[in-house]
Amino acid sequence: MSMSKELEQVHEQLVGIAQDSQQLSRKGYDSYEVLKLQRRLSDADASYYNGKLDKDYESQGQAQVSDEFHKVHHILHSMLERVDSKEQQQQASGH
């Protein structure tokens, strides 16, 4: 399915964030690294809505990009939950 140039750029940003989150998951991460990814997601979100509001119709690929946003947001949320859980365990054990 073809996408508008704006949607393609947002799609590429989301793919990059998803790939970086996978790399972090393999090597380990802290909340700061996840927050950097969340900032990138926020920037992609702003680009998406700026382009979306300029049009009165749904562009091809818009549903796909919306789904990608949901997936990446869920991944980052899960990563932060793991960091919080790990930090709480460390505090409970006195480290």
Q: Which residue range is the domain that position 63 belongs to?
A: 5-92
Looking at residue 68, its pLDDT comes to 95
pLDDT for the residue 44: 95
Q: Return the pLDDT at 90.
A: 76
pLDDT at 88: 73
Higher per-residue confidence, 37 vs 61 = 37
Q: What is the pTM of this model?
A: 0.83
**The pLDDT of residue 86:** 78
Q: Is the pLDDT of residue 93 over 60?
A: yes
Q: How many domains does the chain have?
A: 1
Who's near 7: CB < 8 A, 6+ residues apart?
48, 51, 59, 60, 61, 62, 65
